[in-house]
């Protein structure tokens, strides 16, 4: 069962809403928990639920112990002499750090075991004559997402930003809430845990708002992403049969496919949660209006970037290694080079982790390194750019400045996504080289596009649908709330929007005979 399937949309979600509403307030959180586990079991083997509960148990216990240590420290500090307080804080900080590391090691160890061990064991046994234990266990659905949420909760308790929750079921529901279980967004405990357990009643306004968001997500996923799937599979899977400009087309098409699939699914997720009165964080904010790679990642998969910033980038930036570097380098090589070195020390682990988080394939690791190089170059160039802008009084808000920078960022994005989706590093190298050595623009007008596995009618539908999305995102970027305009408009406006989106999905959605079944992309991460 996936978010875009009729089983979820017409049965699972409505039934869960009805039963949730019929139950007493105190029972409603347990209804959410029960339906979350049912959803989980439809996608993973029953034994995998044990791992989800183990993760919940690990962070629940670790957080309680961390909280107890903080309380014990405070009690001792009240009675201690002033000269003893620093040593007491240091001793308790060391104890808490050990607990945090044990909890994090367990969570990451489970993630590594399921996501990486079996892939490498199979490779070693097949290609290197190894005899490592191997079994096709699969992995618990959503493990990459709920693992990061679990780590963030424990870390926040360690830093005393968050009190440990004594309700095990609330912790479990936070990690397994079914709308966000498969694809995120990745939330902090303070964002959703209390709301999930309040048991607030279903309100018609929330249902209406959620339904509009779900329809918009289905529009992007069914009409654009799913219709492009065949072309993406043909271009990347059979890359030896294409050359030159077709690989440039492949980069653009896959980027559109990925964005429409991922953001469309997130729309369905946010809309589903909205129906229960649970507001989830936005995961995309018009990313193709970004003027550089750094801004792109502040607009794309926002929750993942925010997690790495808060729980990896920041701890590294205040670590002993970075402090020692800053102290040494400022005296020896100056402020500019010191800042470059600091940026490298902080960015590298973030982008290595970003690549590895996506999976064991080598191209994911190179994808992370690709953005590390790009972002490091932007950091290095920033003082030069700022000086140039100041000297020539450039208006950075002018479209004559913004559009070239947006187009430059598009090139960076397209090249990155080609590496991300290529069937290995060698395939990516072949595709990049062919773009520069065998480019033949005539293929765009002599029927070459139709050889991708998408016919003229499908192509027209995709172009029109992408144009619709582009208009809506342009209005949103300009500060217009399109959703509010529809929901607060008169009946004809609301009816036209709801009926138009529903009919568009039914009439133009890519499903049935002749189309590949399109799994949700990030469900595998």
Q: What is the pLDDT of residue 135?
A: 57
Per residue in 104-138, pLDDT (tens digit) is: 999 999 888 887 776 666 666 666 666 555 556 66
Cβ atoms of residues 398 and 412 within 8 Å: no
Task: Report the alpha-carbon distance of residue 390 to residue 213 in Å, rounded.
Answer: 42
Residue 285 covered by a domain = no
Within a 13 Å sphere around the CA of 401, how many CA atoms are in the beta-carbon half?
9
Residue 225 covered by a domain = yes
Q: Are residues 33 and 157 in the same domain?
A: yes
Q: Are residues 178 and 212 in the same domain?
A: no
Q: Are residues 210 and 186 in the same domain?
A: no
Q: Are residues 525 and 429 in the same domain?
A: yes
pLDDT bucket at 8, cuts 50 / 70 / 90: very high
Q: Are residues 167 and 246 in the same domain?
A: no
Query: What is the residue whose two structure tokens read 């105190």?
Result: 26
Q: What is the pLDDT of residue 435?
A: 87
Q: What is the pLDDT of residue 467?
A: 97
Residue 1 covered by a domain = no
Q: Are residues 92 and 197 in the same domain?
A: yes
Q: Are residues 131 and 177 in the same domain?
A: yes
pLDDT bucket at 25, cuts 50 / 70 / 90: very high
Residue 187 covered by a domain = yes
* Domain that residue 439 falls in: 204-280+422-525
Report the range of poorest mean pLDDT among 62-66, 77-81, 427-431, 444-448. Answer: 444-448
Residue 286 covered by a domain = no
- Rounded to the nearest integer, the mean pLDDT of the chain is 89
Q: Are residues 511 and 464 in the same domain?
A: yes
Last residue of a domain, one of 202, 223, 239: 202
Task: Tell me the whole-structure pTM to 2 decimals.
Answer: 0.91
Q: Are residues 254 and 147 in the same domain?
A: no
Q: Are residues 160 and 22 in the same domain?
A: yes
Is residue 383 pLDDT above 60, yes or no?
Answer: yes
Mean pLDDT of 485-506: 92
Task: Report the alpha-carbon distance of residue 51 to residue 59 in Å, rounded.
Answer: 12
Mean pLDDT of 406-434: 93
What DSSP string describes 239-306?
GGG--THHHHHHHHHHHHHHHHHHHHHHHHHHHHHHHTT-PPPPS-S-GGG-SSHHHHHHHSSHHHHH
Residue 304 covered by a domain = no
Last residue of a domain, one of 161, 183, 202: 202
Last residue of a domain, one of 202, 219, 234: 202
Residue 152 covered by a domain = yes
pLDDT bucket at 524, cuts 50 / 70 / 90: low
Q: Are residues 225 and 159 in the same domain?
A: no
Task: Report the alpha-carbon distance of residue 171 to residue 164 in Å, rounded.
Answer: 10
Task: Report the alpha-carbon distance of residue 283 to residue 156 in Å, rounded.
Answer: 21
Domain count, the chain: 2
Per residue in 305-358, pLDDT (tens digit) is: 999 999 999 999 988 899 898 888 888 888 889 999 999 999 999 999 999 888
Q: Are residues 29 and 80 in the same domain?
A: yes
pLDDT bucket at 512, cuts 50 / 70 / 90: low
pLDDT bucket at 521, cuts 50 / 70 / 90: low
Q: Is the bond leading into 333 cis (omega within 30 degrees of zero)?
A: no
Mean pLDDT of 161-168: 94
Mean pLDDT of 26-39: 95
Residue 90 covered by a domain = yes
């Amino acid at each position: 069962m996936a978010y875009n399937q009729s089983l979820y949309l017409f049965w699972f979600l409505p039934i869960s809403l009805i039963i949730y509403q019929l139950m007493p307030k105190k029972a409603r959180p347990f209804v959410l928990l029960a339906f979350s586990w049912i959803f989980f079991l439809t996608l993973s083997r029953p034994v995998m639920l044990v791992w989800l509960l183990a993760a919940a148990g690990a962070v629940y216990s670790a957080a309680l112990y961390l909280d107890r240590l903080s309380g014990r420290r405070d009690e001792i500090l009240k009675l201690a002499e002033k000269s003893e307080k620093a040593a007491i804080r240091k001793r308790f900080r060391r104890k808490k750090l050990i607990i945090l590391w044990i909890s994090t090691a367990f969570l990451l160890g489970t993630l590594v075991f399921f996501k990486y061990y079996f892939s490498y064991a199979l490779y070693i046994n097949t290609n290197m004559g190894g005899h490592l234990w191997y079994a096709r266990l699969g992995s618990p659905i959503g493990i990459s997402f709920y693992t990061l949420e679990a780590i963030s909760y424990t870390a926040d308790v360690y830093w005393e930003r968050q009190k440990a929750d004594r309700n095990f079921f609330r912790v479990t529901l936070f990690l397994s809430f079914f709308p966000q279980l498969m694809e995120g967004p990745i939330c902090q405990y303070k964002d959703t845990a209390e709301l999930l357990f309040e048991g607030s009643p279903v309100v018609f306004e929330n249902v209406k708002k959620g339904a509009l968001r779900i329809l918009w997500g289905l529009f992007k996923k069914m009409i654009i992403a799913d219709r492009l799937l065949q072309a993406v599979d043909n271009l990347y899977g059979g890359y030896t049969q294409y050359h030159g400009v077709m690989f440039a087309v492949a980069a653009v098409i896959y980027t559109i496919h990925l964005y429409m699939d991922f953001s469309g699914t997130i729309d369905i997720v946010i809309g589903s949660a909205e129906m229960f009165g649970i507001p989830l964080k936005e995961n995309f904010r018009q990313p193709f209006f970004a003027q550089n790679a750094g801004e792109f990642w502040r607009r794309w998969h926002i929750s993942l970037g925010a997690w790495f910033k808060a729980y990896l980038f920041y701890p590294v930036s205040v670590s002993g290694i970075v402090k020692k570097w800053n102290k040494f380098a400022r005296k020896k090589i100056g402020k500019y080079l010191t800042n470059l070195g600091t940026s490298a020390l902080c960015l590298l682990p973030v982008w290595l982790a970003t690549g590895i988080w996506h999976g064991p394939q080598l191209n994911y690791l190179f994808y992370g390194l690709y953005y590390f190089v790009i972002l490091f170059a932007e950091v290095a160039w920033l003082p030069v750019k700022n000086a140039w802008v100041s000297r020539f009084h450039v208006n950075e808000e002018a479209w004559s400045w913004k559009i070239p920078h947006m187009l430059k960022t598009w090139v960076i994005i397209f090249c990155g996504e080609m590496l991300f989706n290529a069937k290995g590093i060698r395939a990516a190298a072949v595709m990049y080289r062919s773009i520069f050595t065998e480019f033949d623009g005539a293929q765009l007008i002599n029927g070459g596009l139709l050889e991708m596995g998408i016919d003229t009618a499908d192509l027209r539908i995709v172009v029109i649908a992408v144009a619709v999305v582009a208009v809506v995102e342009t209005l949103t970027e300009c500060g217009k709330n399109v959703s509010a305009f529809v929901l607060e408009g008169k009946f004809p406006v609301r009816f036209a929007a709801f009926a138009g989106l529903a009919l568009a999905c039914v009439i133009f959605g890519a499903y049935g005979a002749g189309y590949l079944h399109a799994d949700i992309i990030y469900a595998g991460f």
